[in-house]
Structure formats: structure tokens, C-alpha cells
Amino acid sequence: MDQKQMTDLIQQMTLEEKIAQLLQLTANLHEGTDDQSQITGPMEEMGITEEMVRASGSVLGLSGASSVIALQQEYMKKSRLGIPLLFMADVVHGFKTIFPIPLAIGCSWDLRLAEKSAEIAARESSVSGIHVTFAPMVDLVRDPRWGRVMETTGEDPYLNSLFARAFVRGYQGSNLQEDKERLAACVKHFAAYGAAEGGRDYNTVDMSERQLREYYLPAYKAALDEGCEMIMASFNTVDGIPASGNEKLMRGILRDEWGFDGVLISDWASIREMIAHGAAEDDCDAAYRAIRAGVDIEMMTPCYVQHLPQLIKSGRVSEAWIDEAVLRILQLKNKLGLFENPLRGADPEAESEVLFSAEHRQAAYDLAVKSSILLKNNDVLPLKPESNVALIGPFAGQEDILGWWSCVGVKEDAVQLGAALQERLNHKLTIAEGCGIDTMTPQQLAQAMDTARSADVIVLALGESAAMSGEGGSRTDIKLPKAQLELVKELKKLGKPMAAVLFNGRPLDLHGVLGEADAVLEAWFPGSEGGAAIADLLVGKANPSGRLTMSFPQTVGQVPVYYNGFNTGRPMDPSKTGERYVSKYIDSPNEPLLPFGFGLSYSTFEYGQLSISSHEMSAEKPLEVSISVTNTSARAGIETVQLYIRDVCGEVVRPLRELKGFEQIELEPGESKTVKFTITEELLRYHHSDLSFTSDPGSFHIFVGPNSRDTLQASFTLI
């Protein structure tokens, strides 16, 4: 359908039909429409009536080719103008084949595999009838108390922007109209949802516009620049106004400044929640503020359907606002080819072959290997082939290793660490649970101690339950649960080598495990093939290469702690710990326990001299940086060489380090490679106090190394 046909179609629509396109409801409400008993409970409380359900323009959370086909066909029979339903769902790190959580994917620093994971997720979802995914989530995070850090790629705007683009490419491909195996992507949550005060979900977000633009907005913009079709408003306030009613954010920045003309959807009930925020009098006022801000689809509440007709009649709302929203929604349906083929890629026959295929599981395995991070290793890993191993901890059993937002993934389908290690170690492995996630019985402990006594080495399988992170999963204490720390303490008394594997959805306070274990492998929630990937890393069939994209704090008392902070006027000199009147704690170091970019390998790498093409650069003359890296071990391995810069003096204070480039290289034993970076003037731009985005002449430092802390340094001047 072309633009004119769409605008003609809108002319034919009644006001009620237009407004119905702006409502999105969950599938169960649709599926129950013929059974009056369904019109109870949440629907009545929410004020949702049966005809609203019947007419609404898109469906949330339904998948399964047959179900989607049935609902779409039923809907099309009654659709006076033949406008098909849009099916949207949270496909965040996989559909049936579940990949590691996005925070883990970020730690792979592998944009190609990230894109591939999104492409596979799209292939599985589209054959199951989904058209749009509510992903990528690109909220920048600096507070591990927040449960949804698991859903993002971390604390750096540059890296998050690259991953945002990779995910959008993977989900959408290059031609949504033709390629039925892709999905429209919906970047979220706009904006700055990850900056909730106290790391408490849905809490207030308040920062300067400059901070917002410098750190929090770039990744959303990158997703949209990559062609992302949709964007979702966040629950939180931005400078005192909930995003769902924030004109300056939505009409000002998103629409006018960035020129985004795609669909903007609210988050779940976030329009009505403006009342609770204290930013709307009632549903009618909430509807007014949201449509004025340009929110096109209302998710799960009927403020639009109930009040827009009156608001238009009273002249407070122009029907033009409705028409522009409806046009964006019809354009999206058109881009997906739904007018020609309302069933799009839904295919019950193909579904069973495509979902959870060996090829897809292999990709999930590869990404799980690359997302895991070796945090410590005093020569305990990889496990010696002759060792008798005791695997002990709650994740040796059947705990969920898929993590939050695992779509239609089935945790029982996941390859567990115990089973995978059993396969690889046979009779050399004994397993004991030792404790639950946060409970331990004397019998469990006794059995664990016995099991450990007869082994040469102990592998601990510890972590958070899947529900201890994710939406609504904020924690004030980010240590491992007490029962697990107790188990570690008791096992430590045996004086045997111990390696700990961690399954968690956030950076943890590792007191009680990092010091006690001789090796620690961060597995995050590694997905459907997680156990196999971790087992291969433990036995040395694979070599860890992940690097942290979110700092691990010493303790929660240090939060927020992140690598790209400022020097302050009284920086602490770590060599002068006695100084009092400097920016420091009297009970903790300033540095995080583990810095951004950190990760070990079974290989060892040596960095040669850092060389730069000149000590001066300009917009016309970029700077070339190069360094040789050698694998000085007997194992082939992957090193992620990172480039940071520091603008020594700006019109506003500038971070001590900012990631501006990285390159992942594979090195055979003894092999050297020279890594080159080009520093352009564009890379040195930042938001000034007047919000202009420019660079300043002056001195800069360059840092190159394996993480944000252990780096080689050089300097140059931008003229």
C-alpha cells in the first residue's frame, strides 16, 4: 500500500476505529473475547470492554503460529476496512533458543554474534507469528541494585550504541517488507530508565539535560539511526515529567530534533500511571498529556479509548494528532507487508523445525562461551584432566539458567552445568547441591562436605535465582545469598582448590567468594546452552574471553561506581592513603573491585610499545594509534584491545577515561598482531554547557590496554 492509499484509508475510518488502533492488549484478553467469563477481573478493573478488545489494533505477548493465525483470521473477518492486527512480544535475548542475557552478550564485545543472536531470535519469533519485538533495551546503567541491568549491555554509551545497532540489524535485516524472517525492533526504554534513584525500579530519574544527552540518549539515537522502527516510552519521570507525557522529550527531542517518525508505544500502563506519579488528574488528563506528547499506542490501559473522543469533541485534542498516530501505525503494518499478507511469516509446519534447532543452539553456545568472564584464576582452571571434581552449589542442580525475559524458552530444556560436566568428566565428577538459593539444611551441608572431601578440586555453582534480577528485581544487598556464602566458608575449611562459577543478573558484591575461591568464572545467565559452554570453559575446551561492561563495586555502599567518572577537585592519590581531605572513603578504596573492560584468559598477552602517528591532530588530520600484542602463552586466545581517551580540560569536566574503540584479536601461541586505531575529531566531541556538541582544542591522553585500568598511555594535542 502506498502513502496515498493509507491516507485514503484513514479518511474512511470512523473516529472510534482510529482510536482503537491506538490500543494494545494482551493476548488472553483477545482470546477470551467470545467467552463472557473472560470479561472479568483485570479487564473490568482496567475499564476494558469487550468491544475495545475486539477492535484494538495490536496484541501484546501472543505467539504460536496457529494461535496467531486463528486470532488474525478471526479479527480480519470483522475488520470493516481490512486493517490487520500487529503482534508484538518481548523477545529480548532469544525466543525459544535463549541466548545469554544482554548484559552477558555485552561482555562478549562481539557485535557479530550479538547481531546473529537477534537474527536467530527474529527467525524463531516470526515463524511463530510475531511481528515486533520490544528490544533492544539500551538503557545505560551504573547501579547494580537495579534488577534490569541484566537487560542492557552496560555502563558505556559508545559500546551500548554499537550493540544497539547490531541488535537492530539482526532483528530487522535490510527489508522488512520482503524478509518474513525478521521483526520490527522497538528500542526501549526512552529515556534513561536505568538511572532510577537508588537502583529501585520505576523510581525517579533526575539529571541535567547535558548528562542525559551525553550519556543516556546516545544508544537510543544509535538504534533509531540504524533504522529501528519503534520506540517505547519509559515508566520514569525525566526532569519531573513522566516520559509518557513528556512533550520536551518526545515531541521536542524524539520527533522534532531527531526526526523520528516511527511508532512510539507506552510501557505497560505507563499512561494511566501518570496519575500515580502525580502528573495527571485522571485517565482523561493522562490521555491528553500522552497524545499531546505524541505517544501513538497505549499499552494495556484504556485512557485513549475512553477519553479521546470527548477530548476531540471539546477541542482540547486535535483529530490531527490521532490521524498522525494512526498513520504511523498503518505505516508500520504496511512495512511489515501485513495488508498484503496478514499472516506474514506465521507457519505452523516450519515452526517445529525452526525453533530450538541445532544451528540456533550452536549459536547460543558460542555466545555463552564468549560472554563468560574469568574474574580470577590462581592456576586452578582449566581443571586438570586427572582431577576428581566435586561440583557443589544450587546451580549444580536444576536452577533456571535462562534468566529474566526468556520469552518462550523452557528452563528444563537448558543444558545444566551438572549434566554437561558429567558428560565430560564421567566418573571423575561427583555432584552435591550443598544448599538452595538461600536455604541450607544440615544434611545438605554434610553431604556437600563429604562429596568435597573425596575430591581433588571443588567447583562451586553459585548465584542469584532468575527472579532476583529482571523487572521489579531490585536489591539493596548485592552479595550472594547468605546460605551460599556459608557453604563457601565451610568448604574453604577443607583447604582444597576451589573454582566458583557465578550465575547472576547483575554485578555482585563478591565478598565471601572472590577471596575464598582460587578461581571465579562469571557465567551470568548463559541461556539454553549455558551448561555446555561453562563446562567447556572449565575443562579448557574453550578459553574465556569475556570483558566486563559494567563495573563490579567493592560493596553496594560504593554504588554508583563506573569507569568514566570525573577526577574531582581533590582526587585521591592511591599512594597517599593517609590523606584525609581528598575525595575518598575512610572504609573502602575508591576503585571498583573489578573495572570496566576487565577479564582474564587462559592465555597471557603482552602489549608492546604504544605508538602514535603524531603528537598533534586536527579535524583534517586524524591520529593513528598502533600497538602490537603478543600471545606469550601456549594457548590460542582472544584479546579485546581497548582504546580510551581523556580530554584533560574541557568547557565542562570530562571523564578520566572514555572508551572510543576496541578490537578483538585471536592470537595463536607466540603470535603477535599490530592493532591500529584512528582517532578522529568527531570522537572527541561532547555536550557543552550550552548543549552544543563539539570538540575543543587542547591536550588529550590516550590509554590502550586489556581493560579500563591497566593501560599504556600517550598524549596528543587537538589543534
Amino acid sitting at position 393:
G
**Spatial CA neighbour of 388 closest among 453, 460, 433, 443:** 453
To ligand GLC, the closest distance from the beta carbon of 236 in angstroms equals: 11
Cell 544451528 identifies what position?
359
Nearer to ligand GLC, 267 or 509 (CB): 267
Nearer to ligand GLC, 169 or 189 (CB): 189
Q: Give yes or no for residue 376 binding ligand GLC (CB under 6 A).
A: no
To ligand GLC, the closest distance from the beta carbon of 345 in angstroms equals: 21
Nearer to ligand GLC, 246 or 334 (CB): 246
Residues that contact ligand GLC, how many (by CB under 6 A): 6
To ligand GLC, the closest distance from the beta carbon of 279 in angstroms equals: 18
To ligand GLC, the closest distance from the beta carbon of 130 in angstroms equals: 13
To ligand GLC, the closest distance from the beta carbon of 282 in angstroms equals: 22
**Spatial CA neighbour of 47 closest among 374, 405, 301, 368:** 301
243 close to 249: Cβ distance less than 8 angstroms? yes
Q: Which long-range contacts (CB under 8 A, 24 or more apart) does 68-76 make?
A: 68/128, 68/129, 68/130, 68/343, 68/346, 69/129, 69/343, 69/346, 69/348, 71/27, 71/30, 71/31, 72/129, 72/342, 72/343, 72/346, 73/342, 73/343, 75/30, 76/342
For ligand GLC, what does the binding mask look like between residues 667 and 686, x meaning CB under 6 A? --------------------
Active-site annotation holder among 110, 139, 267, 285: 267
CA separation, residue 298 to residues 17, 59, 60, 286 (Å): 15, 11, 11, 11
CA distance 553 to 546: 18
Cell 525466543 identifies what position?
95
Q: Would you give the end-to-end CA distance of the chain in angstroms? A: 53
To ligand GLC, the closest distance from the beta carbon of 134 in angstroms equals: 3
User: What contacts 200, CB < 8 A, 6 or more positions away?
Assistant: 145, 146, 474
**Spatial CA neighbour of 149 closest among 447, 436, 559:** 559
For ligand GLC, what does the binding mask look like between residues 137 and 166, x meaning CB under 6 A? ------------------------------
To ligand GLC, the closest distance from the beta carbon of 148 in angstroms equals: 8
Hey, how many other C-beta atoms are within 10 angstroms of the C-beta on 571? Answer: 13
**Spatial CA neighbour of 372 closest among 167, 482, 520:** 520
Nearer to ligand GLC, 90 or 110 (CB): 90
For ligand GLC, what does the binding mask look like between residues 74 and 93, x meaning CB under 6 A? ----------------x---
Nearer to ligand GLC, 90 or 399 (CB): 90
313 close to 73: Cβ distance less than 8 angstroms? no
Q: Give yes or no for residue 134 binding ligand GLC (CB under 6 A).
A: yes
Nearer to ligand GLC, 89 or 643 (CB): 89
Nearer to ligand GLC, 268 or 356 (CB): 268
CA distance 717 to 719: 6
**Spatial CA neighbour of 478 closest among 501, 506, 502, 513:** 506
Residue 191, preceding bond cis, omega within 30 degrees? yes
To ligand GLC, the closest distance from the beta carbon of 327 in angstroms equals: 23
To ligand GLC, the closest distance from the beta carbon of 618 in angstroms equals: 44
Q: Give yes or no for residue 404 binding ligand GLC (CB under 6 A).
A: no
Nearer to ligand GLC, 90 or 226 (CB): 90
For ligand GLC, what does the binding mask look like between residues 254 and 273, x meaning CB under 6 A? -------------xx-----
Asked about 34 being catalytic, the answer comes back as no
| Residue with the CB atom nearest ligand GLC in the bound state | 134
551 close to 592: Cβ distance less than 8 angstroms? yes
Q: Give yes or no for residue 471 binding ligand GLC (CB under 6 A).
A: yes
User: What contacts 14, CB < 8 A, 6 or more positions away?
Assistant: none
Nearer to ligand GLC, 10 or 232 (CB): 232
CA distance 176 to 199: 37
Q: Give yes or no for residue 203 binding ligand GLC (CB under 6 A).
A: no
CA distance 73 to 341: 11
**Spatial CA neighbour of 312 closest among 322, 297, 325:** 322
59 close to 26: Cβ distance less than 8 angstroms? yes
Residues 558-597 that bind ligand GLC (CB under 6 A): none
To ligand GLC, the closest distance from the beta carbon of 271 in angstroms equals: 13
Binding-site member from 116, 165, 188, 221 for ligand GLC (CB under 6 A): 188
Nearer to ligand GLC, 193 or 598 (CB): 193
CA distance 126 to 40: 31
Residues 306-365 that bind ligand GLC (CB under 6 A): none
Measured in residues, the chain has a length of 719
Residues forming the site for ligand GLC (CB under 6 A): 90, 134, 188, 267-268, 471
Active-site residues, by number, are: 267
